[in-house]
Amino acid sequence: MTDDNAWLADYLEQGRQGLLAAPPSAFWIVTRACNLKCHYCFADARKRDPDELTTVQAFAVLDDLAEHGVAFVTYLGGEPLMRRDLFDLVDYSTDLGIYTAVLSNGLLVKRGAVQRLKDAGCQMLGISIDSNDPLVHDAIRGVRGSLIGAKRAVREAVASDMRCSSAAPRGPPTTGVRTYLASNSFSKHCGNCGNSPGHWA
């Protein structure tokens, strides 16, 4: 390991000894509000929790995470984009030096949303896809047209050069792997996921 990476060796050793003040990453359900009705939802997400943190309270949590050495945070839900202040949270966490990602179902990732996330400092957008078959995906997600929205979000992210990952289906419906997507890898990973090559998204 080079001298430039000596900090990493030290960090890993502290982790092995149980001396870290906090885990290196945090996955934060910032809202239970959601625009889908997924059958398997572990967050029991539908309506906004009346005790949902305010923006100021969320900033305080991020201050605490940064102070304790958390290096990576992923905002999820529910649907994180249903929080009107999500762009502010992304901006704040990245200003603190925390690598920031957003995991979305994609329906609210419309034109301009990806650029706003990028401008705020978001470094990765994850889009969840349960099946390339709209009947399967939409049935699981509980809303017709949800697969169309998810694919549109992937296209928007790739077109904007936003680092994007998607649980593109492999094998039977609902089984998949999270794949990094970019303009030079999109056709390789997704070109054969539809009914014909090049028609996945």
- Say whether pLDDT at 124 is over 80: yes
Q: CATH number of the domain at 21-190, please?
A: 3.20.20.70
Residue with more model confidence, 18 or 184: 18
Higher pLDDT, 200 or 97: 97
Q: Round to whole Å and give the CA distance between 199 and 201.
A: 6
Give the containing element (helix H, strand E) for 28.
Answer: strand 25-29
* pLDDT given for residue 8 in this prediction: 73
Query: CA triplet 145, 201, 104: central angle to 5 degrees?
Result: 60
Mean pLDDT of 167-174: 48
Which of 36-45, 61-70, 126-135 holds the top average pLDDT? 61-70
CA 179 from chain centre, in angstroms, equals: 12
> pLDDT class for 70, splitting at 50, 70, 90?
very high
Tokens 């939802």 correspond to 41
Please compute the mean of the pLDDT values over residues 180-198 and round it to a whole number. Answer: 45
- β-pairing verdict for 124-127 and 99-104: parallel
Per-residue model confidence (pLDDT) at position 200: 40
Please report the pLDDT score of residue 167 as a whole number.
Answer: 62
pTM for the model stands at 0.78
Rounded-to-integer distance, Cα 46 and Cα 66, Å: 30
Question: What pLDDT, in 10s, does the model give residues 14-59?
Answer: 888 888 877 889 999 999 999 999 888 876 778 888 899 999 999 9
Q: Which residues pair with 3 in a beta bridge?
A: none
Q: Which residue has the higher pLDDT, 176 or 7?
A: 7
Sequence-distant (≥ 6) Cβ neighbours of residue 172 within 8 angstroms = none
**Per-residue pLDDT, 107:** 94
